[in-house]
Amino acid sequence: MLTAPNERLKRLIRQTLLIRRIEERVIELYPSDKIQSPVHLSIGQEPVAVGLCEAMTPQDILFTTYRGHAYYIAKGGTLPELMAELYGRSGGVSGGKAGSMHLAAPEVGMMGSSAVVASTIPHGVGAALAAKLRGEKQAVITVFGDGATEEGVYHESLNFAVLHKVPVLFVCENNALAVHTSLAERQAFDTESHAKAYGINTTVIEDGNDLIKIGDVTAKLLASLRAGGGPEWLMIKTYRYKEHVGPGDDFDAGYRKRADMEPWWKSDPLNRYADIVKGMEAEVKAEIDRAVAFAEASAPPAPEQLLTDVE
């Protein structure tokens, strides 16, 4: 049960709202074809990113996936540069070369996101190894979907992290779907007890809408990492409202039912705290308008950019 809204909760709600509304703006803009980049929207899953990032210091670093808008924003990436990136403009955070699936902002510890499922998991482990060698109190989070745990590299990464006791927090963002395939069809093992069998400490948050809990649990786990306790494993259950990729709804596609969404919709912080949200809408909208205006005004990358930064 969430406690009465305080400043902290308001901050988290505002961030959740910002992510929701900016993605909704993406949906609005999408038919105009101004955003020519496949978008994997996090709508419904935003609290996971918000809670995790709340617990991270700016020095802590994060590796994530193609479903990365929420993480980019929650970790502190700037909005205008995000929009310009989605627009493929020179003002984008990566000059228009990254698009939606490869968002990064190293200055705030957002170390990149990859379109290849599971491919950033070992990066988190290697980065944590480097942090440990330097003796820094830096913690690393690597986020991946439930589908990613089927990839061999997840298992290789888990083993290496445990073997070398590196300060990495594995976060499985479990929406119980890989594209349109359910967990039961794909997995013959229980990921949590499997990770436990590696000797890694595991935690599961059933309600991925509980901003405060996610923030608190993450803070505790990161503290343990910094104290040299070795890797930690966290699963957060959540729900994707939109189609796997693209701006649409797909409850009529046959692989899931609208009723599945009900409980999540109810616990959605933006619905639970609708009153608070209402008071934030105008400001959030203005912020997004500015970001869109920036993107619109930003020039496309010059042809010379084609061959810069290749190596």
Partner 1 sequence: MTHQSTATSLSYREALHKAMHDAMAGNPNALLFGQGINDHKGIFGTTTGLADKFGKHRLIEVPLAEEGVTGNCIGAALNGAYPINVHIRSDFVLLAMNQIINLAAKYKYMFGGLFDVPMLVRLVIGRSWGQGAQHSQSLQSLFAHIPGLTVIMPASSGSIVDSYAHAVRKHRGPVISLEHRLMYDLKFEPEHEPVVLGATPFSQRKVSHGSDVTIVSTSIMSLEARRAGEWLASRGISCDIIDLHCVSHIDADVIMKSVARTGKLLVADTSWQPYGVSAEVCRIVAMRDPGVLKAPVVCMGMAAAPCPTAKALEDIYYPNLTTLTDAIATLVRGKKDNGIELPHERSMADVYKKFKGPF
Partner 2 sequence: MNAVTSLPRDVALGLYRTLYLARRCEEVIVRIYPDDEMKTPMHMSMGQEAVSVGICKALAGNGDVIASYRSHATYLAHTEDHRSFFGELHGRTNGTADGKSGSMHLADIPKGMLGASGIVGAGIPVALGAAFANKQQSPGRVVAVFFGDGAVDEGAFWESLNIACAMGLPVMFVCEDNDLAVHTRVSDRRGYSSLPDVVRRYNCMVLEDESNDVEAIYRLGRYAIEQMMSQKTPAFLNIRTYRYLEHCGTAPDTDAPYRKAAEDAFWKGRDCVAMQRKRLLEGGVPESEIVKMERAIDADIEVSVAAANQAPHPGQDLLYRGVFHEAS
Task: Enumerate binding residues for partner 1 (CB under 8 A).
Answer: 61, 63, 92-98, 102, 104-106, 111-112, 114, 116, 119-131, 133-134, 138, 140, 152-153, 155-157, 159-160, 163-164, 308-311
Longest dimension (CA), the chain: 55
Other C-beta atoms closer than 10 Å to the C-beta of 130 total 12
Amino acid identity, position 178: A
Q: Which is nearer to partner 1, 72 or 241 (CB)?
A: 72
Q: Which is nearer to ligand TPP, 51 or 230 (CB)?
A: 51
**Hey, what are 141's tokens?**
């989070």
159 touches partner 2 (CB under 8 A): yes
155 touches partner 2 (CB under 8 A): yes
- If contact means CB under 5 to 8 A according to the sort of partner, which of ligand TPP, Mg ion, partner 1, none does residue 195 touch? none
Contact between residue 206 and residue 263 where contact means Cβ atoms under 8 Å apart: no
Contact between residue 236 and residue 174 where contact means Cβ atoms under 8 Å apart: yes
Q: Go through the chain and tell me how many residues it has.
A: 311
* Contact mark string toward Mg ion, 177..216, x via CB under 5 A: x---------------------------------------
- If contact means CB under 5 to 8 A according to the sort of partner, which of partner 2, partner 1, Mg ion, none does residue 128 touch? partner 1
162 touches partner 2 (CB under 8 A): yes
- If contact means CB under 5 to 8 A according to the sort of partner, which of partner 2, ligand TPP, Mg ion, none does residue 197 touch? partner 2
Other C-beta atoms closer than 10 Å to the C-beta of 151 total 16
Among 79, 177, 221, 222, binds ligand TPP (CB under 6 A): 177
Q: Which is nearer to partner 2, 23 or 150 (CB)?
A: 150
Contact between residue 294 and residue 85 where contact means Cβ atoms under 8 Å apart: no
Half-sphere exposure of 179 (CA within 13 A, CB side): 3
Query: Minimum CB separation from partner 2 for residue 63, in Å?
Result: 18
- Rounded to a whole number of angstroms, the CA Rg of the chain reads 19
Pairing of strands 181-182, 177-178: antiparallel
Q: Which is nearer to partner 1, 31 or 135 (CB)?
A: 135
Number of residues that bind partner 2 (CB under 8 A): 26
Contact between residue 12 and residue 54 where contact means Cβ atoms under 8 Å apart: yes
Among 47, 51, 145, 301, binds ligand TPP (CB under 6 A): 145
**Cα–Cα dist 42/78, whole Å:** 17
Residue least distant from Mg ion (Cβ): 145
**Cα–Cα dist 200/162, whole Å:** 7
DSSP 8-state secondary structure symbol assigned to residue 300: P
41 touches ligand TPP (CB under 6 A): no
Looking at residues 97 to 136 of the shown chain, list those that interact with partner 2 (rule: CB under 8 A).
Answer: none
Which spans of this chain sit near partner 2 (rule: CB under 8 A)? 150-156, 158-164, 185-190, 193-194, 197-200
